[in-house]
Structure 1
Amino acid sequence: MTFLAPPGYQPIYNPSIPYVGPITGGLRAGMSVYIQGKIHHHINRFNVNLQCGEFDGCDIAFHLNPRFDLWDKVIFNTFQNGSWEGEEKVKHMPFHKGEHFELIIVVNTEGYQVTVNGKDFYLFQHRMPLERVCALEIGGDVSIDTINIIGGMQGGMGGMGGGYPGGMGGGMGVSAQTIYHASGGYPGGMGGGMGGMYPGSGIGGGYPGAGMGGMGGGFPGPGMGGGEMGYPGGNLPVMGLQPIFNPGIPYSDMIPGGMTFQRTIIIRGMVPYGADRFCINFVAGGSRDIAFHLNPRIREGIVIRNSLIGGCWGDEERDIDFNPFLEGQFFEISIRCGQDKFKVFANGQHLFTFYHRLEFAQISMLEVEGDVQISYIHY
C-alpha cells in the first residue's frame, strides 16, 4: 500500500542528480522549498537554482552555490540574459562534508529566506519577478533524499508534461506566511540538548523505496472529482496551511479545525543519536484522553500504539511493516484519518493501521514530546 499524497503535499523521494523539475503553477510569496540531502565527502561544490525555465541557459532568479575550497563560502546570485550578475558572498559554511542537511527556502515579498539545519542563514532579496520562476534545479556533489515544494497551486494537469517525476503533478494550497517557532531549535549545540545532531557517517541512505512514482497524470483540480486524471486520492482535503517549521519539543497545540474525516497530518523529523523514545499524541478536548498514542522506542526497536481513556491505557499494538525510527535517521510520518481507523505511512510506505477507540471528531490537539527533532508539522 503506497501513500497517496493529498493535494498541496507532493514530496519527491531520492531524485537523481542533476535534477530539474517544474514548480507547477509557479512561485509565489508564502511558498516554501524544502530539501533534505547529504553532502558528499569529496565535495567541490553544489548548487540549488530557482529558474525561469527547464533548459540550459535559462534565466535563474535565485542561485545558491556552496563552494568548498581553501575559503569555504556560499555564493548567491542571479543569471539573466546570458550572464551572471553581482555575487553576494557569505564566508560561512553551514553545510558539512559527509553530513546530512536540511535546506528550507521560504519565499516572501522581500526575497528568499534561506534556513539551514534550523538556523536562519541568509536573505537574498528579489532581483527578478517571482512570477517568472517555474522550475527547480539541483546539481553538483550532493545526494538528495527529499524535495518538497509546499503551498503550490495546481491546475489539475500536473504530470502530463508538467508536474513532478512519477506523475505526481502540482499541489494546491494557500499563500500564507510561514510559521516559525522561536523556542527549542536544533539539538546538538543549536538550542536543544541531545548532542550529535548532524553526524558525519553511519546515517544511511535516505528513504526506503521511492513509493511515490507511477501515479499517472497529476491531481484533479477543484470540482473535477476524485481520481479521473490518474490520482486516486483526488477527493482528499487540501493541505492548505503552511507548515510549522522547527517547533520546540515538547510541542503541544490545537489542530486547526480539529480532526476531520480524511484529514492528513504530516510530521517530518529526525531521531537524534542517543535517543531513547518519543511519542506523538492525538488528544481529545476537555477529557484530555489520548485517542491515539504513537510511541517509537528506539533502543528497544519497537513502535507502540495505544490509547489512554479514562485514565487507563488500552491494549498495546506493536506489529509494523518496517521501522523507520532509527538513530540518526530522518523520517516522514503521514497520519490519515478514516471513518474507522488511522492509516499511518512512513517515508511513503504503509507502516500500520490503528482503529479508532474514541470518536475522531473529539480529537482537538496534537502533542509531540521526547527524544526527537521535528523539522515541520503540516496540517
Structure 2
Amino acid sequence: MSFMAPPGYQPVYSPAIPYLGPIYGGLREGASIYLQGSVPDKITRFFVNLLCGQSESSDIAVHFNPRFDGWDKVVFNSRRDNAWDNEEKIRSMPFSKGDAFEIVITCSPHDYQFKVNGKDFYTFKHRLPLAKVCAIQIGGDVAIQSINVIGVRWIVTSLPFQEQGGYPGGGMGEGCYPGGGMGGRPGCEIGPGGYPGDCGGGGFPGSNLPSMAGQPIYNPPIPYSGAIPGGMFPKRTVIIRGMVPYKAGRFGINFLVSRSRDIAFHVNPRIKDGVVVRNTMMGGHWGQEERQLGGDNPFKEGQYFDMSVRCGSDRFKVFVNGHPLFDYSHRMRNVNEIDGLEVAGDVQISYIHF
C-alpha cells in the first residue's frame, strides 16, 4: 500500500536519474518546488532544468547547474530554440561532496528565488514566461529523494490514475496545456479549498480527499506551536517535511486540544533508540505506548523525511516518504476537537502543510 496523495500534493519519491517529469498543472506565482537529495563524493556536476515542454529539446526557463571543477561555481542560464542565452555564474558552492541537501525554488512575479539548505542563494530573473513552465528535468551526479511542487493549480483529467511518479495521467503525453493535464487533454480545475467534482471518470487514488489548499508554513522555528486551520476531521491530511540533524536525540509531534491541553496523538521518534513511540495524554495522564512499525524506521541522523498524517474516522494513518509507517487508533472520542499542532526537540522543519 502506498500513500494516496490528496489533490495539491503530488510528490515524486526516489526517481531514477536522469529524470524528466511533469509539473502537474503548471507553475504560477507563489508556487514552490522542493528537491531533497544528495551528491556523491566524486561529483563533477549536476543540473536541474525547468522546461517549457515535455521533451529534452524544449525551451529551458531556468538551468541550474552546480559544477565542481576546481573553480567551483553554480551556473544559471536559459535556452530558447535550442540556443543558450547568457550565463550567470555564482562563484560560491552551497553543496558539499557526499552530503544531503534541500533546494527550494520559489516563483515570484519577476524571478525565481533559490534557497539551498534553508539559506538564500540566488535570484534568477524570468527570461521566459512562468506560465509556460510545465516540466522538470534533473541529471548528472546527484541522487534525489523527493520532488514536490506546492501551490500549483491541481488538475483532474478524465484519464485514470497511473503510478508514474505519482502523477495522474501518467507520462508527458502530447504536450503541456494551460489549465489542462499533462496527458494532452483539457482538465477540470480544483480551486483552493475545493473538492474534486465530477470530471468524467475520477476514480484515481486521492480523488475523494480534501484539497491541500493554502500556503504552507515554511521553516517554522522549533519549538513550534500553532493552530490547525479548521481543525482535524476525517480525510484531513497534514504534511510535515523536515530533517533529523546529526547527533539528534529525539523529537516530538503533538496533535492536541488547545482548550484542555489534552494530546490526542503524540509521535515521538527517539533517534538513538531507533524507535517511534506513539501515545495519548488525557487529563495529564499518559496512556499505553505503541512502538510497532509497519516498515523500516525512516527517522535517522542526517536524513530528510516527508511525513503525511491522515485523519480517518477511527484512526490516524501515518506515511513517511510515501510508505505506510503505522496506524494509530483514536483514543479521544471526538477528533474534531483537535485544533493545535506542536513540534519540539531535535528536528528541523522545512514546511507544514494542511
| Short-chain TM bin | 0.7 to 0.9
Contact in 2 for aligned 1:23/1:163 (Cα 8 Å): no
Contact in 2 for aligned 1:336/1:344 (Cα 8 Å): yes
Task: Report which stretch shifted further, 118-127 or 228-237.
Answer: 228-237
User: What is the aligned partner in structure 2 of residue 48 from structure 1?
Assistant: 48
User: What is the aligned partner in structure 2 of residue 247 from structure 1?
Assistant: 220
Deviation of 1:228 after TM superposition, in Å, equals: 4.2
Contact in 2 for aligned 1:268/1:374 (Cα 8 Å): yes
User: What is the aligned partner in structure 2 of residue 32 from structure 1?
Assistant: 32
The verdict on how the C-alpha distance between 1:79 and 1:163 changes in structure 2, with shifts beyond 3 A counting, is farther
User: What is the aligned partner in structure 1 of residue 146 from structure 2?
Assistant: 146
Name the SS of the counterpart of 2:155 in structure 1.
Answer: coil
Aligned pairs for 1:148-227 within 5 A: 148-157=148-157, 165-166=164-165, 168-169=167-168, 222-224=196-198
User: What is the aligned partner in structure 1 of residue 290 from structure 2?
Assistant: 317
User: What is the aligned partner in structure 2 of residue 212 from structure 1?
Assistant: none
Give 2:344's aligned amino acid: E
Count of aligned residue pairs for this structure pair? 330
Contact in 2 for aligned 1:242/1:378 (Cα 8 Å): yes
Give 1:349's aligned amino acid: H
Name the SS of the counterpart of 1:256 in structure 2.
Answer: coil
User: What is the aligned partner in structure 1 of residue 108 from structure 2?
Assistant: 108
The verdict on how the C-alpha distance between 1:331 and 1:159 changes in structure 2, with shifts beyond 3 A counting, is farther
User: What is the aligned partner in structure 2 of residue 2 from structure 1?
Assistant: 2
The verdict on how the C-alpha distance between 1:254 and 1:327 changes in structure 2, with shifts beyond 3 A counting, is same
Matched, 1:78 2:52: no
Give 2:343's aligned amino acid: V
Matched, 1:256 2:229: yes
Name the SS of the counterpart of 2:339 in structure 1.
Answer: strand
CA–CA distance in 2 between the matches of 1:164 and 1:113? 31
Map Cα deviations across residues 147-201 of structure 1 (whole Å, 9 max, x no partner): 11112223312877x988245228xxxxxxxxxxxxxxxxxxxxxxxxxxxxxxx
The verdict on how the C-alpha distance between 1:376 and 1:351 changes in structure 2, with shifts beyond 3 A counting, is same
Structural RMSD (CA): 2.2
Deviation of 1:34 after TM superposition, in Å, equals: 0.7
Contact in 2 for aligned 1:73/1:91 (Cα 8 Å): yes
Deviation of 1:232 after TM superposition, in Å, equals: 3.0
User: What is the aligned partner in structure 2 of residue 23 from structure 1?
Assistant: 23
TM-score (norm 1): 0.82
Give 2:351's aligned amino acid: Y
User: What is the aligned partner in structure 2 of residue 356 from structure 1?
Assistant: 330
Unaligned runs of 5+ in 1: 171-217
User: What is the aligned partner in structure 2 of residue 183 from structure 1?
Assistant: none
User: What is the aligned partner in structure 1 of residue 308 from structure 2?
Assistant: 334
Unaligned runs of 5+ in 2: 170-186, 191-195
Contact in 1 for aligned 2:11/2:166 (Cα 8 Å): no
Q: Among 276, 281, 297, which residue is 2:249 paired with?
A: 276
User: What is the aligned partner in structure 2 of residue 182 from structure 1?
Assistant: none
CA–CA distance in 1 between the matches of 2:91 and 2:293? 46
